[in-house]
Chain A
Amino acid sequence: MLSHELSANQIKEKIIKREITAQEVIEELFEWINLKEPLIKAYLCLDRDGAFLKAKEVDKKLDNGDKVGLLAGVPVALKDNICTVDIKTTCASKILEDFIPPYDAFVVKRIKEEDAIIIGKTNLDEFAMGSSNENSAFHVTRNPWNTDCIPGGSGGGSAAAVTADTVFMALGSDTGGSVRQPSAFCGNVGCKPTYGRVSRYGLVAFASSLDQIGSVTKDVYDAALLLQVVSGHDGFDSTSATVGVPDYISDINNVDGNLKIGVPKEFFGEGLNSEVGSAVMNALEIYKKNGAELIDLSLPHCGYAVATYYIIATAEASSNLARYDGVRYGHRSQLSEDNIIDMYSRVRAEGFGSEVKRRILLGNYVLSSGFYEDYYLKASKVRNLIRNDFEDAFKKVDCIISPTCPTPAFRIGEKITDPLQMYLSDIYTIPANLVGIPGISVPCGFTNTGLPIGMQILGKHFDERKILKVAKLFENGTDFHLKKPELN
């Protein structure tokens, strides 16, 4: 097996055992990237020099017999909305095309401390707004399973890179499904932890009350490993939780007691692709065979989740994106400016793409005087109702299982002219963001045409440990996660 085909944990073990040096891993990885990246275009920027520098440092530590971190020598990619000191962070937007942050995000500091090697920054829909990667201002990333298809969004770059083995693991952000949906479309494991579990400091904000940093990995064990590193309280994020972080890794194979799995009817209704539906039903049967109890549930307010989400997310986005005005950094128009309003208009007209503009307009509309009560405030109330639905459900079950997305990956261009259809692609992932609970997507099958299908496991607040275990239980009995696309 070639080194890049291994999981993150496997390559780390090999490096620690000195079976391969971190520098050799980087060398082989970049050879593979040179071959496959032109087909996939997962990256916006690669940091070859930085990677070698860090690899050398890790090897030296091992030479000296020094202690190394939990991610020693593991190549990691970062979605390009996570700030990295001295490396451009563009959010796939023209407005930040040349922006180099003067600071590292909390998660970047953490993985650096644990000796991970940052390979590069991956593509996304501009400012993480989109479900297909087609809203990137720079290029469209391809799905490694079928390069005519989208890899999902917004974190399509990270998912495609992990699937194409051009990196071992990646960090992304999940505001409405941006980690889980592309992971489902690309056949890898995507985990969105509880809101507040991982600091958002240094994640370029899209919708602050929904944004959560998450992991994209080749298997469940790697997800536990990466989450173990990035979870925990951060004094620079007021919304970061002070809840203690349990050990995700050591007893990941033990599901304690009788597992009760909730199956919500609202997630298996109209609009669900039949192949996806039956793959998830088959998965539920596997759980049943393993002794789990399946409990039918209703989450009656989830039907309003997408509408609620697009009010809250756009409202927050319109405000979060107001700072991109060309005054202090970022794009500045080459055209002459008569006054300050002129300057703002040109900077933002030229700098933002059409989906971002659409959401800023929507957000400003729902917050404007006279509409605030009808839209934002009402949406906040519905959000509470959805939260209540889940709280009630979790009194009866340990976790909830559903498809991650209603369909497998669609073709490039298929939905780009129909934003509402595009928005529905996140119908099953959005509730977890509104409620703030953790969710993980694991591969659970393939369509006739060979596209991966993802299953979503949702857990209680701060109960990542449980959903990782439930995911691992399934993974241990299946081999969907081991399948590799042919990349020619």
Chain B
Amino acid sequence: MKYEVVMGLETHAELDTESKLFCGCSTKFGSEPNTQTCPVCLGLPGVLPVMNKKAFEHSLKAALSLSCEISEFTNFDRKSYYYPDLPKNYQTSQNYFNIGNNGYVDIVVKGKEKRIDIHNVHLEEEAGKLVHPETSGANYSLVDFNRAGVPLLEIVTQPDMRSVEEVESYMQTLRNILLYIGVSDCKMQEGSLRFEASISLREEGSNVLGNRVEIKNLNSMKAVLKVIAYEISRQSSLLDKGEDVLMETRLWDDVDSVSRRMRSKEEAHDYRYFPEPDLVPVWIDQEWIDETRTTIPELPVSKRQRFVNEYTISDYDAGILTDDKLLADYFEECVGLSQDSPKELSNWIINDVLRELNERKTNVQDFIVSPKMLVDLVKIKPAIGSSIAKDVFVEMINTGKTAPSIVKEKSLTQMGDVSELNDIVAKVIDENPKAAEDYGKGKKSALTFLIGQTMKVTKGKANPKILTEIFKEKLSAGSK
């Protein structure tokens, strides 16, 4: 049977703030366990939370960037469940009055745009981390509360996604937005960005939703994509056999690449939400919203569209350039310096700059070749030819020198003088009669050989285009 897969995603993004959500402790990643704690984030008796304004503003900015309706009145709620990494055994979160509701994210899959609806965006606190000893038979576990209380943004979609590609595009688009607006570093290896997926299958054409399975513990986009593939096959084989898919929560095991039952619907937590009495409600007025809006930069989707229109580059290329805000900025800085060649600059960035960045595992901000340097290289290229330009680019990276100074130092300017080249070509033909003859018999590769020989003589300075023309002319004339 053919099934349609229905998916929704919950995303947790740690917000980029100096201090935790309710106390002054640092949020720095990777410190010694329990060195960034205080009575408040340890949940000692008698302590009270005080809201981190920056975290709230970040959340508001994110909600606006995700086109949410902003609640005038927002409040916090306690979500109760027992777990040793949760100091108070309740998480201060939002349930009844979220910061943002009814937003959307536009994604592009295979050139087609699709809107994914956002159910809500809300702010909550992070839990600590359990550390289980590796020695077998150990009868204890350790808890590190450094992360407890770090501000966490939760973004919940409607079950709008229908394919692995859509989920992938949504995750990338969302991550990109969060990076663009600077509210989270989205470092998945540090747990700054995590996902929970809900997946159900239904017969194609059906309007009834199938039983939903929720998957927790997805710490990378790769894991999300793997779990979807896994669940689609698991659930469809159950349905094919005429069995029911159980409504349950499963955990993804990245090592064994399987999902395992965590709890059934009957065992689901009753979180006993109620308004957090230790915090006061936050009223968001229009002025605050307007002010926040001015801090939101152009978002990736509109930037991509603008690049296509303004610079007449392909949508695909625009997509690559806008995938990273810093790269997009780099591109625009280049174009600002030299308006006549956006397409060529885009090619250089996508083919050469990106390759170097990947090899060097660095970002464009720290890249030695500045936009000005790249523009200078592109400007000087007609005089040196493409292949030398590539060499100069490598030289620029290695030495930090500009293209004009490298070209001057090594006297790399191309020979374009036809009469001078004519003499050299004649000499090469004389010295390689066999190759000349082969070409006359129709062996095309002989021409490549001859051009190579000429390049050797000219130390690569000959313009290959002009060279080809001269050879063709001379050799065809000779065969006559």
Contacts and interface: CB of A to CB of B under 8 A. Distances in A.
A304 B278 CA distance: 25
A318 to B, nearest CB: 8
Contacts of B277: 207-209, 239, 316
B55 to A, nearest CB: 14
Contact of A204 (B46, B84, B88, B273): B46
Interface stretch (B36-44, B235-243, B308-316, B394-402): B36-44
A203 B45 CA distance: 8
A237 interface: yes
A77 interface: no
A102 interface: yes
Contacts of B49: 238
Interface stretch (A23-31, A256-264, A362-370, A399-407): A362-370
B270 interface: yes
A3 interface: no
A372 B273 contact: yes
Nearest to A325: B89
A301 to B, nearest CB: 21
Contacts of A238: 48-51, 278-280
A323 B84 contact: no
Given A83-B45, A238-B278, A369 B88 contact: no
B47 A201 contact: yes
B270 A236 contact: no
A342 to B, nearest CB: 12
Contacts, number: 99
Contact of B43 (A203, A236, A315, A323): A323
B43 A328 contact: yes
Interface string B59-89: 0000000000000000000101010100111
A308 interface: no
A92 B366 CA distance: 60
A228 interface: no
A477 interface: no
Interface in A90-123: 91, 96, 99, 101-103, 105
Given A238-B280, A319-B80, A328-B87, A101 B48 contact: no
B45 A322 contact: no
B272 interface: yes
A82 B47 CA distance: 11
Given A238-B280, A328-B42, A369-B272, A323 B48 contact: no
A228 to B, nearest CB: 23
A327 interface: yes
Nearest to B43: A323
B288 interface: no
Contacts of A237: 48, 50
Contacts of A368: 270, 272
A239 B278 contact: yes
Nearest to A96: B45
Interface string A288-322: 00000000000000000000000000011011001
Contacts of B272: 318-319, 364, 367-369, 372
A103 B80 contact: no
B90 interface: yes
A344 interface: yes
Interface in A67-96: 81-83, 89, 91, 96
Interface in B3-52: 39, 42-51
Nearest to B89: A322
Contacts of A208: 277-278
A335 interface: no
Contact of B39 (A103, A207, A325): A103
Contacts of A207: 277
Contacts of A485: none
B449 interface: no
A341 B50 CA distance: 31
A205 interface: yes
Q: Among the interface residues B46, B82, B90, B273, which one has the most CB atoms of the partner chain A within 10 A?
A: B46
A105 B278 CA distance: 16
A105 B47 CA distance: 9
A364 B43 CA distance: 20
Contacts of B46: 81-83, 89, 101, 105, 201-205
Interface in A431-467: none
A340 B89 CA distance: 13
B131 interface: no
A208 B49 CA distance: 12
Contacts of B274: 315-316, 319, 367, 372, 376
A235 B272 CA distance: 29
A322 B90 contact: yes
Contacts of A89: 45-46
A323 B45 contact: yes
A239 B278 CA distance: 7
Interface in A176-214: 200-205, 207-209
B143 interface: yes
Contacts of B278: 205, 208, 238-239
A99 B45 contact: yes
A201 B90 CA distance: 19
Given A201-B48, A238-B50, A319-B272, 13 more contacts: A83-B46, A89-B46, A101-B39, A102-B39, A103-B44, A236-B50, A237-B50, A315-B274, A323-B87, A323-B88, A328-B42, A367-B273, A376-B274
Interface of A: 81-83, 89, 91, 96, 99, 101-103, 105, 200-205, 207-209, 235-239, 315-316, 318-319, 322-323, 325, 327-329, 340-341, 344, 364, 367-369, 372, 376
User: Can you list the 4 inter-chain pairs with the closest CB atoms, starting with the nearest?
Assistant: A322-B89, A208-B277, A367-B272, A209-B277
Interface of B: 39, 42-51, 78, 80, 82, 84, 87-90, 143, 270, 272-274, 277-280
8 contacts: A89-B45, A237-B48, A323-B45, A327-B143, A328-B87, A344-B82, A364-B272, A367-B273
